[in-house]
Amino acid sequence: MAGALMALARERGPGKTFCPSEAARQLAQDWRPLMPEIRRLAGSLPLQATQKGKIVDAETASGPIRLGLIP
């Protein structure tokens, strides 16, 4: 999971974001159950979570978030 998250972040590059569900979708057809672990892992990686342009905690934010490389 961590590898999928970091690969997407590097692929997008600095200043660009992605939805964490993109990583989950790469890992399983039934991807929704993976989302809590994806969000937990995102908080431990050099990724920044945002929601409506504001920095949030990936694990505790309610609703959709975006992830990107920490500037």
CB atoms closer than 10 angstroms to residue 43? 14
pLDDT tens-digit map of 18-55? 999 999 999 999 999 999 999 999 999 999 999 999 99
- Residue spans per domain, the chain: 2-69
CATH number of 2-69: 1.10.10.10
Token pair belonging to 67: 């992830």
The predicted model scores a pTM of 0.92
